[in-house]
Homo-oligomer: A and B are copies of this chain.
Amino acid sequence: MTNVVLLGLKGHQGCCLDEIARREDVRLAGVQDDDPTVLEGLRGRSYTDQQTLFTTSPDELLALPQVDVAILCEDNAARPGNLLACAERGWHIMAEKPLALSLEDLGAVREAVERAGVRLSMLLTMRFEPPYLAMRHEVAAGSVGRPLLMSAQKSYRRGIRPAWQRDRATFGGTIPFIGIHALDMLQWQTGCRYRRVAAAHHNERLPGAGDIEETAIMLLETDAGQMVDIRCDYLRPGKAPTHGDDRFRVAGSDGVIEAIGGEVSLLTAAHEPRVLAQPEGQSIFGSFLDELAGRGRHPITAAECFAITEVALKARQAAETGEWVSV
């Protein structure tokens, strides 16, 4: 039996809990959140059992014995401390992103994880979604030739954001929180390596946004003459048909591939423009559990999690300083 604990209910824990519910040999040993109402909402769900600990105390959760895996979905400021605590206990970790809000904290986490020898992954959920699996497959197959210009949009709905996001101290910024998805996605899809970044972000203090930068832009160069532009915003108005308007585009020497609205289209010199079939989505937490059980390999390495968090923090630094930053 694999015992899993969940610290915080402020992220993508849903996809992990669903996976726990699907598995006979995995159970939720405990769950913590500082909001008792949210916590109580989980009682009786199929991923809990009679012995599942419900607590508002992180210390109580961290004191549980015989834990194998921790899922970290707390606010962004609490994450590095929890990462250290879990690593010290020898627990494997699936963490929300980013891993830390400063390079110093990130370094401490890296050291602790390596010392403990635990498996660390991060909830880069987009890597497991059908459109992006299809895109990556085509790029790897050479359909667009050599990738030259990679672009992304992450556009989210406006609205009253949770209190921890409205506070810069516990949120950390739109670039490390949202931009990191796009930074990871474009690198994962194309195999490029970022070399330097220029960026801008702005907090307009629209109603409900608090300290959140409603807009952010990044421009990156790779070590091979390729370039990347990423824009993020929290400006989709209430009547928008979906929460997010995510877009990814890779323009290469032989074609252009693009995902908009969940549809992936491919333009090449060889074939008429076409919409691509998409593979099944995969379970990020499922593949993590499988690797821990000796079945296959979870596709997100700890090194990638550290590296992309570092890029995101340096991109935020580029926005804060108004200077190019080497990554």
Contact = CB atoms under 8 A, between A and B. Distances in A.
A225 interface: yes
Nearest to A206: B253
Contact of A151 (B221, B227, B231, B251): B231
A155 B229 CA distance: 14
Interface stretch (A12-20, A110-118, A235-243): A235-243
A269 B267 CA distance: 34
A267 B148 contact: no
Size band of the A side of the interface?
35 or more
Contacts of A107: none
B198 A273 contact: no
A255 B237 contact: yes
A253 B204 contact: yes
A202 B153 CA distance: 22
B233 A231 contact: no
A210 B270 CA distance: 22
Given A226-B202, A227-B200, A324-B322, A239 B268 contact: yes
Interface string A201-244: 01010100000001111110100011111010101111111000
A251 B149 contact: no
A244 to B, nearest CB: 13
Contacts of A252: 235
B148 A235 contact: yes
A237 B148 contact: no
A323 interface: yes
A199 B322 CA distance: 13
Interface string A180-201: 0000000000000000101110
A271 interface: yes
A256 interface: yes
Nearest to A198: B198
Given A148-B214, A238-B269, 17 more contacts: A148-B202, A149-B235, A198-B198, A200-B219, A204-B225, A215-B226, A216-B227, A217-B219, A217-B228, A229-B229, A229-B231, A237-B254, A237-B255, A237-B267, A239-B267, A239-B269, A322-B324
9 contacts: A149-B217, A151-B153, A196-B322, A200-B221, A217-B229, A219-B229, A237-B267, A239-B267, A239-B272
Interface of A: 146, 148-149, 151, 153, 155, 158, 196, 198-200, 202, 204, 206, 214-219, 221, 225-229, 231, 233, 235-241, 251-256, 267-273, 322-324
Closest 3 CB pairs of A and B: A198-B198, A237-B269, A235-B251
